[in-house]
Amino acid sequence: MAKKLAGYETTFITRVDQTEEQLKTLKDRLFAIVKDYKGEIIHQEDWGKRKFAYPIQKEVRGQYTHFVYTGTSDLIAELERNLRLNEQTLRFMTIILMKEFDKEVYMKELGTGTPLKREERLEVTPAPGSAPAPAAAAN
């Protein structure tokens, strides 16, 4: 059986004044990089335009995009390099989800196809080494 790849999630913010075509081109380029590095896109969604708590590069609003994928550390370096070089990108963040990502388990956690909020995900899967929640006392 082939070794499972690590799972990552990347969220990036782009300027709101860009066209839909520019955003689609950026996403297509990033998804092509994932495929070139033998990764797989698991889940992708647009979070829409949101107002910032403070200005970023003199912008007060941004277009948020989030995607989950599998890959290697080489893939992450190339993705972040491309995001850094894109003038429309204001910020980005990549987080490792699991060292050995299991697509079926992740999709099962998503349930209906809408991602769980981070707080709900933490409730579903307790942190490693943490004690189970105490049971309610019967009267």
Q: What is the pTM of this model?
A: 0.72
Q: Which residue has the higher pLDDT, 35 or 129?
A: 35
115 Cβ contact list (under 8 Å, min separation 6): 43, 45
> How confident is the model over 84-112, as a mean pLDDT?
81
Residues 67, 75: contact at Cβ < 8 Å? no
pLDDT at 10 over 80: yes
Q: Which residue has the higher pLDDT, 71 or 126?
A: 71
pLDDT at 76 over 70: yes
> How confident is the model over 17-24, as a mean pLDDT?
90
Give CA–CA dist 87/93, Å, rounded. Answer: 16
Which residues share a beta bridge with 96? 8
> How confident is the model over 121-134, as a mean pLDDT?
47
